[in-house]
Structure 1
Amino acid sequence: MSPAYDRVVLSYPKRIQAFAVAAAALAGFVDAVAFIQSGGFFVSFMSGNSTRMGVGFAQNLGAAWTALALIAAFVVGVAAGSALNRWRAHGRLAVIVTVSALLFAAACVSGAGLAFPAALLSALSMGALNMVLEENGETRVALTYMTGALVKIGQKASQALFGGPRWAWLPYLLLWLGLAGGAVIGALTFHTLGAAALLIASAVAMVLGLMLRRATPSDR
């Protein structure tokens, strides 16, 4: 992970850091709903799907192709989100509105009993979500997967023990807690509401859009 990643994450204004944690919580929520509904596949954690694909090609071709389709949908979502960021005057807001629309569509499709198409739409939305904080063609903060954040927690904690910045690990911990907490809430909500849980996710995405609109130009 590059020094630029450190520099951007740690120097973001507090409002944007809060937005990043909230977006990570949304990703955890959506991933948990999709994981339960699809029988163990992910819509934001593509390392997990890559492992499932590899195991599937050895043991279960149906599972392998499902994982591969979700990976492809995620990548398409990333490309679409990046394009919106580059080509629209209010790129970040356009990405969030797209994420919300895709989650709304996923909720409708899921309500009709079509779990796999709903998962594909959710994967598209999560891919796009990662591009909200894209800068100069680079993704500076991973919002839907936390392996890198966990590495940074350990690395920064070790540096603190040897005289480095005392709290440099905290922003990465908050990102991870956001994702993990969102997953807990998503699982509980799906248990209570079923497919309608994704309607809540769609509404939360719109709230995130309002957070971006309220950010000052320097924040953005």
Structure 2
Amino acid sequence: MKDYSRKGVMLAATLSALAGYVDAVGFMTLGGFFVSFMSGNSTRLGVGLALGEWDQAAIAFGLIVLFVVGVVIGATVARRVGEGRRSVVLAVEAVLLLTGAGLCTAGWRELGMVAVVMAMGVENAVFQRQGDVGVGLTYMTGTLVRMGQRIATALHGGARWDWVPFLMLWTGLAVGGAIGAVSFLRFEVLALWPAFAVVAGLAVVVALAEARTERG
């Protein structure tokens, strides 16, 4: 994270919060399955197989496949337009969230969640570097490990505050999850519309910033 500007860190924290928000809405819509946290779905897959709960295992596996498809789409877009063009990846994510919100609002929740899961996969390409994930936005285990490592470095005389951006990512996800849960309890699947609006707005803001940078 130290290779990113302050604006880059803020964008990452915002997108992490959005992932937590959407994951909470998806979790409550799907009755305990995740739309961005694939470690949780992998555990549910394993438990479902062990208990012979084939329908539960099938749902978990399907969500994992859809997420990977979203990652492939996001990575492909980033490669085609250039990994510095984050606005295009955000635009693709926004279109998928718009599709998901529209389908869920129309009563087709299962189809809507297909688009939402893919959107979360796409999001991980926003900070893609040389084909790899630069910043993990929808999962926090690696982020917490890196935070702990940076704290250990600080305690041994290294950079004192390099762990803070990782704390911001985790905090964003947790706070976003809480807001998403409250929003779902009040608005149900309509809570997906603010998520679409945020990503669409970010795509516009980032696109304008990229245009200014290109003009020099």
TM-score normalized by the length of structure 1: 0.91
How far did 1:88 drift?
A: 2.5
From 64, 70, 79, the equivalent of 1:86 is: 79
Are 1:48 and 2:33 counterparts? no
CA contact (8 A) 1:53 1:64 kept: yes
* 1:164 corresponding residue in structure 2: 158
* 2:124 corresponding residue in structure 1: 130
From 36, 40, 49, the equivalent of 1:57 is: 49
Q: Distance in 1 between the 2:181 and 2:108 partners?
A: 19
Question: Alpha carbons of 1:162 and 1:91: their partners in 2 closer, same or farther (altered >3 Å)?
Answer: closer
CA contact (8 A) 1:69 1:120 kept: no
CA contact (8 A) 1:19 1:211 kept: no
How far did 1:91 drift?
A: 4.3
Where in structure 1 are there 5+ consecutive unaligned residues?
1-8
Percent sequence identity is 42
Cα shift readout 1:29-48 (whole Å, capped 9, x = no counterpart): 10000000100101111111
Deviates more, 1:180-189 or 1:83-92: 83-92
* 1:174 corresponding residue in structure 2: 168
Indicate the RMSD between aligned Cα atoms, in angstroms: 1.5
* 1:117 corresponding residue in structure 2: 111
The equivalences for 1:143-162 within 5 A come to 143-162=137-156
Deviates more, 1:107-116 or 1:11-20: 107-116
* 1:33 corresponding residue in structure 2: 25
Runs ≥4 in structure 1, deviation > 6 angstroms? none
How far did 1:14 drift?
A: 0.8
Instruction: Name the amino acid aligned to 2:7.
Output: R
* 1:194 corresponding residue in structure 2: 188
The secondary structure found in structure 2 opposite 1:215 is helix
TM-score normalized by the length of structure 2: 0.92
Q: Distance in 2 between the 1:176 and 1:153 partners?
A: 9
The equivalences for 1:203-218 within 5 A come to 203-215=197-209, 217=213
How far did 1:109 drift?
A: 1.7
- Corresponding residue pairs, total: 210
Deviates more, 1:82-91 or 1:169-178: 82-91
Instruction: Name the amino acid aligned to 2:39.
Output: S
Q: Distance in 2 between the 1:130 and 1:170 partners?
A: 20
How far did 1:214 drift?
A: 3.6
Where in structure 2 are there 5+ consecutive unaligned residues?
none
* 1:3 corresponding residue in structure 2: none
Cα shift readout 1:144-201 (whole Å, capped 9, x = no counterpart): 1111111111111122112121111100000001111111111111111111111111
Are 1:76 and 2:82 counterparts? no
Q: Distance in 2 between the 1:28 and 1:208 partners?
A: 16
* 1:15 corresponding residue in structure 2: 7
Q: Distance in 2 between the 1:79 and 1:44 partners?
A: 15
How far did 1:116 drift?
A: 2.4
From 101, 107, 111, the equivalent of 2:101 is: 107
